[in-house]
């Protein structure tokens, strides 16, 4: 008789010990893939605006939920795309696979240092536990997504004047069509078409249908050539100083997770018309070396400031990023600037250390000349730019060190370096320093920063997470930052402090409560209208109490109260918001969530943000200000295993007789705004 290996015996005992523990004590609540995605979306949503398209950040999770990968052949790149795993957990998982071989179930994951039951359960929603020599069976999967969105009330841009003309040249609805076909990771093809409200549809300047089209094809190979993307794609390298298409790492309530993850190439399927490249990219790999090369040829919108006698633009002041083509002025700025971008990365990896050299070059067809304002003194001007950088990642025991240093054509410099540490399973902390000179002109960077763009900022950030007791978690961060030069919103360099502290408490397995305090102080121009303006200190504080009660497997309730206080120049403003969420699955094929919120703030400065559940692939973070109510009903119904329908109707009702919601062409006369969305998904 063959003697079982030691690992098999240990795993057998561990498995039964865990099973016994689950019988003796109440089982922890497990989250399905959709709940995990919603949790991560809300974490990211804290630092983005209402119209941010977060789908690119989370589409890997959606794909892995529908097509789980084999945990026993997982790569660092696979695991980083999950976003909820820390660097420490990823490295320990890979080391466990190298030392012990196959992982048999999610229960064995709990034996890996840094993993607990919840993390193991979350990971199990996106992976399969197959033998390492067994290839995951892949099929041709095709998905069609269609979305219709419209405000019921009429915005001013659609109202005709006395001559029968309106500012908006198109239709009222926002329309989306997405098609994707893939066979595992070997082949992917995606197509996206979108029309914003007010843009022409099969008429006027869009005789061929939608206003925005995007497509890509991706191929993976088992050779030196690892992958190729043609069409629209994203490139993410280093810590994001010079090349990180899409959204980079921001501060969040997680506190300690500050290193951007998910490097490499990926196809682009977002509706954001700016955060991508268009052309061809490829990744090569041989032994410990990895090489990425790419070239992009993309027309973008720009603010034209000077044209020749024939009406052709010869000078622009800045690149436009709204993506709107609704009015005559917006159409005149459409696709006037041609941007060519090329770059490469060479990376060397050995065990738990990797280092890379990155380069990027960019040429504008039309020279850029910013407006002659003092805050634009160091802004980019001209037609050409280039960036070079070097970055590293070193995981040493329970600490991972990372950093990147870059230089641009203007001789401007940028550096970011930090560490994430977990000295014990109950304690994690992070430290990050960044310094971006005002004349550093990043080509396509989105590194960690207080504001958009890797420029004109120096800061020191530290985050902490502690589990002092089994049911309590303490987390938070403090960030000290300053600008080297004045900004658009200031008359002198800015100094600021951002502090957040949160306490999570779970008295039972089905109740979660957290209390969050956030305080940020900096300076901004005064409101005085005088020839010489000075800066005044401003401070905003927010306190949030949130409670979630999972009644059973089908229903849960969330209650929240948040208070804000804004002070500037001796004047104080206050705001308050409360809401109740009801989430349920009354029928096997029907799922819903509903919210009723009340808010009352002095004005926009004391506004309060709150993430909302929405239809598939849509993330909404509205700002609540003034006094009013907001309520919505969001539903998902599975017509079949292949066909799902999503529906949401939401209304904001302001408690005022005369009111104007929004401004300019987007303004709505009246005290209510109603938003309707219908989304269809067919997967075959």
515, part of any domain: no
pLDDT at 639 over 80: yes
Q: Give the pLDDT confidence of 449-478 residue by residue, as tens digits.
A: 988 778 999 999 999 999 999 899 999 999
Residue 345 · residue 265 · CB < 8 Å:
no
- Stronger pLDDT, 675 or 254, i.e. the higher one: 675
Residue 604 φ/ψ, nearest 5 degrees: -65, -30
Number of structural domains found in the chain: 2
Residue 15 has what pLDDT? 45
Beta carbons within 10 angstroms of residue 308's beta carbon: 9
Q: Give the pLDDT confidence of 51-93 residue by residue, as tens digits.
A: 566 666 677 777 788 788 889 988 888 888 887 888 888 888 9
Longest CA–CA span in the chain (Å) reads 95
pLDDT at 681 over 80: yes
What contacts 469, CB < 8 A, 6 or more positions away?
Answer: none
According to the per-residue pLDDT averaged within each range, which of 28-32, 98-102, 217-221 is highest?
217-221
Residue 635 has what pLDDT? 96
Structure tokens at 95: 């080391």
Residue 484 has what pLDDT? 95
Q: Give the pLDDT confidence of 570-581 residue by residue, as tens digits.
A: 788 999 999 999
**pLDDT, mean of residues 188-217:** 94
The CA–CA distances, whole Å, from 173 to 21, 161, 192, 614, 672 equal 54, 21, 17, 17, 18
Q: How far apart are the first and last CA of the chain?
A: 48
Instruction: Choose among 413, 420, 393, 487: nearest CA to 454.
Output: 413
Instruction: Choose among 386, 242, 380, 233: nearest CA to 298.
Output: 233
Distance between CA 246 and CA 522 in Å, rounded?
27
Residue 286 has what pLDDT? 93
Residue 79 φ/ψ, nearest 5 degrees: -70, -35
Residue 500 has what pLDDT? 94
The CA–CA distances, whole Å, from 65 to 127, 530, 591, 659 equal 8, 57, 18, 44
Residue 194 · residue 246 · CB < 8 Å:
no
Distance between CA 623 and CA 167 in Å, rounded?
26
Distance between CA 572 and CA 603 in Å, rounded?
11
Residue 74 has what pLDDT? 87
Distance between CA 40 and CA 340 in Å, rounded?
34
Q: Is 404 exposed, middle or buried (0-12, 13-18, 19+ CB in 10 A)?
A: buried
Cβ burial 98-124 (10 Å sphere, 16+ → b, else e)? eebebbbebbbbbbbebbebebbbbbb
Distance between CA 338 and CA 149 in Å, rounded?
31
Instruction: Choose among 341, 224, 226: nearest CA to 279.
Output: 341
Residue 606 φ/ψ, nearest 5 degrees: -100, 25
Mean residue pLDDT of the chain comes to: 88
319, part of any domain: no
Q: Give the pLDDT confidence of 219-263 residue by residue, as tens digits.
A: 999 899 999 999 999 999 999 999 988 766 777 777 788 888 878
Residue 579 · residue 597 · CB < 8 Å:
yes
| 3 state SS for 91-152 | HHHHHHHHHHCCCCCHHHHCCCCCCCHHHHHHHHCCEECCCCCCCCCCCEEEEEEEEEEEEC
Residue 500 · residue 393 · CB < 8 Å:
no
- Stronger pLDDT, 618 or 497, i.e. the higher one: 497
Which range is least confidently modeled, 8-22, 136-150, 543-557, 576-590? 8-22
| Distance from chain centroid for Cα 244 | 12
Strands 660-661, 399-408: parallel, antiparallel or unpaired by DSSP? unpaired
Q: What is the DSSP string of 466-490?
A: EEEETTEEEEEEEEEEE-SS--TT-
115, part of any domain: yes
Residue 254 · residue 43 · CB < 8 Å:
yes
Strands 69-70, 127-128: parallel, antiparallel or unpaired by DSSP? parallel
Choose the final residue of a domain: 128, 162, 192: 128
The DSSP 8-state label assigned to residue 202 in this structure reads S
634, part of any domain: yes
333, part of any domain: no
Residue 630's CATH number: 2.40.160.10
The DSSP 8-state label assigned to residue 243 in this structure reads B
Number of continuous H segments (helices) and E segments (strands) in the chain? 8, 33
Beta carbons within 10 angstroms of residue 1's beta carbon: 3
Residue 8 has what pLDDT? 46
Cβ burial 466-477 (10 Å sphere, 16+ → b, else e)? ebeeeeebbbbb
Q: Give the pLDDT confidence of 528-540 residue by residue, as tens digits.
A: 655 666 888 899 9
Beta carbons within 10 angstroms of residue 173's beta carbon: 18
What contacts 130, CB < 8 A, 6 or more positions away?
Answer: 70, 72, 136
pLDDT at 47 over 90: no
Q: Give the pLDDT confidence of 105-144 residue by residue, as tens digits.
A: 888 988 888 888 888 888 888 888 988 887 777 788 899 9
Distance between CA 456 and CA 537 in Å, rounded?
19
Band (328; pLDDT cuts 50, 70, 90): very high
Choose the final residue of a domain: 98, 128, 158: 128
pLDDT at 28 over 60: no
Residue 261 has what pLDDT? 81
What contacts 51, CB < 8 A, 6 or more positions away?
Answer: none
455, part of any domain: no
* Percent of the chain whose pLDDT exceeds 90: 58
Residue 183 · residue 141 · CB < 8 Å:
yes
Distance between CA 677 and CA 650 in Å, rounded?
9
235, part of any domain: no
Give the range of the structural domain holding residue 110, as residue numbers without chain letter. Answer: 6-128
Choose the final residue of a domain: 75, 96, 128: 128
241, part of any domain: no
According to the per-residue pLDDT averaged within each range, which of 38-42, 395-399, 595-599 is highest?
595-599
* Percent of the chain whose pLDDT exceeds 70: 92
């Amino acid at each position: 008789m063959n003697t079982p290996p030691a690992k098999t015996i240990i795993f057998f005992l561990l498995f039964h010990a865990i099973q016994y523990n689950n019988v003796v004590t109440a089982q922890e609540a497990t989250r399905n893939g959709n709940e995990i995605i919603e949790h991560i979306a809300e974490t990211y949503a804290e630092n983005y605006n209402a119209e941010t398209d977060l789908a690119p950040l989370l589409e890997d999770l959606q794909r892995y939920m529908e097509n789980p990968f084999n945990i026993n052949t997982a790569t660092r790149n696979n695991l980083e795309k999950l976003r909820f795993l820390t660097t420490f957990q990823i490295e320990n998982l890979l080391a466990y696979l190298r030392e012990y071989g196959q992982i048999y179930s999610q229960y064995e994951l709990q034996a890996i240092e840094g993993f607990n039951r919840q993390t193991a359960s979350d990971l199990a929603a996106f992976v399969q536990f197959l033998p390492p020599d067994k290839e995951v069976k892949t099929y041709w999967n095709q998905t069609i997504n269609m979305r219709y969105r419209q405000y019921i009330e009429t915005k001013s841009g659609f109202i005709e004047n006395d001559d029968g003309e309106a500012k908006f040249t198109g239709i009222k609805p926002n329309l989306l069509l997405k098609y994707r076909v893939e066979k595992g990771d070997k082949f992917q093809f995606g197509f996206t078409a979108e029309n914003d409200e007010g843009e022409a549809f099969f008429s006027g300047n869009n005789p061929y249908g939608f206003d925005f089209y995007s497509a890509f094809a991706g191929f993976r190979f088992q050779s030196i050539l690892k992958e190729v993307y043609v069409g629209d794609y994203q490139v993410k390298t280093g810590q994001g100083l010079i090349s990180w298409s899409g959204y980079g790492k921001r501060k969040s309530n997680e506190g300690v997770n500050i290193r951007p993850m998910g490097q490499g190439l990926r196809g682009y399927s977002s509706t954001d018309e700016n955060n991508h490249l268009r052309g061809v990219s490829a990744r090569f790999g041989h032994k410990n070396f990895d090489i990425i090369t790419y070239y992009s040829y993309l027309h973008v919108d720009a603010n034209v400031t000077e044209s020749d006698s024939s009406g052709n633009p010869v000078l622009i002041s800045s690149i436009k990023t709204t993506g709107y083509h609704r009015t005559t002025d917006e159409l005149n700025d459409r696709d006037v600037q041609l941007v060519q971008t090329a770059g490469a990365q060479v990376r060397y990896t050995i065990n738990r250390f990797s280092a890379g050299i990155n380069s990027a070059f960019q040429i504008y067809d039309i020279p850029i000349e910013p407006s002659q304002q003092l805050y634009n003194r160091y802004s980019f001007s001209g037609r050409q730019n280039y960036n070079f950088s070097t970055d590293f990642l070193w995981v040493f025991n329970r600490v991972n060190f990372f950093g990147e240093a870059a230089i641009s054509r203007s001789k401007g410099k940028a550096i970011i370096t930090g560490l994430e540490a977990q000295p014990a399973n109950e304690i994690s902390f992070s430290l990050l320093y960044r310094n971006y000179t005002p004349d550093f002109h990043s080509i396509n960077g989105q590194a960690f920063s207080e504001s958009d763009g890797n420029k004109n900022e120096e800061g020191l950030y530290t985050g902490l997470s502690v589990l002092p007791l089994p049911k309590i978690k303490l987390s938070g961060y403090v960030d000290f930052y300053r600008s080297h030069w004045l900004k658009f919103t200031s008359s002198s360099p800015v100094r600021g402090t951002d502090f957040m502290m949160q306490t999570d408490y779970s008295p039972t397995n089905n109740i979660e409560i957290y209390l969050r305090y956030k305080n940020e102080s900096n300076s901004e121009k005064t409101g005085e209208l005088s020839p010489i303006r000075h800066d005044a200190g401003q401070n905003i504080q927010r306190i949030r109490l949130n409670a979630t009660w999972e009644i059973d497997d089908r229903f849960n309730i969330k209650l929240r109260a948040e208070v804000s206080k804004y002070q500037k120049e001796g004047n104080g403003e206050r705001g308050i918001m409360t809401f109740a969420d009801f989430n349920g699955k009354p029928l096997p094929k029907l799922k819903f969530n509903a919210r009723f919120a009340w808010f009352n703030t002095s004005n926009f400065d004391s506004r309060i943000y709150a993430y909302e559940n929405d239809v598939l692939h849509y993330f909404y973070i509205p700002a609540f200000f003034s006094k009013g109510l907001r309520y919505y009903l969001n539903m998902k119904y599975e017509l079949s295993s292949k066909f799902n329908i999503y529906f949401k109707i939401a209304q904001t009702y302001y408690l005022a007789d005369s009111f104007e919601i929004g401004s300019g062409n987007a303004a709505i006369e009246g005290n209510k705004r109603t938003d309707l969305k219908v989304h269809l998904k067919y997967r075959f």
